[in-house]
């Protein structure tokens, strides 16, 4: 993948949509989430026409307080899983990413929860809500189990859509890189109401 990657999240859409493009502007991944689902079931495509599925996320339960999201490829083979860290995620969003046999390999953590709180609060105030999307920028860091940061996702200034920039901070195994990017994509969908 050619970093930085850009995740563009459409705000004014019945079904949430996220397009991931690389540094050259080429589409890498595309998600159009189905609305009104009790249990999360998200397919990641290679194209906007949704003709070439690449990956799929499925939640293991309806209530997502500590749900596990299984990642599979187009053939249904396991890629890994991610799980919200329950009570620890109430103040600061935290997720654990697992490999295909269930070993934790990556951790995603929100860098500054106060930014999220201000963004969500101001987002509810007319006119100020538009400015919050432009002025406040929550960020998330992905670290390996030894604590070494490898990826960082930062919200970019925007008015009518949410744009995130994903940068690779350090080298990582290709399979962990795929799991990390997919987990951040799913996290953006899960955290969309929080900034």
Instruction: Find, among 63, 62, 66, the residue nearest to 96 by Cα.
Output: 66
* Ramachandran category for residue 192: left, alpha or beta (phi over 0 → left; psi -120 to 50 → alpha): alpha
User: Residue 81 has what pLDDT?
Assistant: 96
User: Residue 13 has what pLDDT?
Assistant: 63
User: Residue 102 has what pLDDT?
Assistant: 94
The count of C-alpha atoms lying within 13 angstroms of the C-alpha of 144, restricted to the half-sphere facing its C-beta, is: 12
Average pLDDT across each block of 10 residues of the chain; the chain has 195 residues. List them in order: 90 78 96 71 93 93 77 95 76 89 95 78 70 76 95 86 92 95 90 57
User: Residue 4 has what pLDDT?
Assistant: 96
User: Residue 124 has what pLDDT?
Assistant: 72
Per CATH, is 5-194 categorized as 1.10.3720.10? no
Residue 123 backbone dihedrals phi, psi, to 5 degrees:
-65, -20
Instruction: Find, among 190, 136, 182, the residue nearest to 43 by Cα.
Output: 182
User: Residue 12 has what pLDDT?
Assistant: 66
């Amino acid at each position: 993948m050619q970093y930085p990657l850009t995740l563009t999240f459409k705000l004014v859409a019945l079904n949430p949509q996220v397009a991931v493009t690389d540094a050259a502007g080429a589409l890498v991944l595309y998600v159009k989430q189905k609305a009104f689902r009790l249990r999360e079931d998200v397919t990641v495509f290679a194209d906007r026409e949704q003709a070439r599925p690449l990956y799929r996320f499925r939640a293991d339960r309806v209530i997502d307080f500590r749900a596990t999201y299984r990642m599979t490829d187009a053939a249904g083979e396991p890629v890994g899983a991610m799980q919200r860290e329950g009570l620890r995620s109430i103040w600061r969003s935290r997720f654990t990413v697992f490999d295909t046999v269930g070993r934790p390999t990556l951790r995603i953590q929100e860098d500054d929860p106060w930014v999220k709180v201000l963004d969500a609060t101001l987002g509810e105030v007319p006119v100020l809500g538009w400015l919050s999307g432009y002025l406040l920028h929550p960020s998330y860091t992905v670290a390996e189990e030894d604590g070494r940061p490898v990826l960082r996702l930062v919200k970019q200034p925007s008015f009518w859509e949410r744009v995130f920039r994903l940068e690779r901070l350090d080298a990582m195994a290709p399979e962990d890189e795929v799991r990390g990017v997919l987990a951040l994509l799913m996290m953006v969908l899960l955290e969309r109401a929080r900034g």
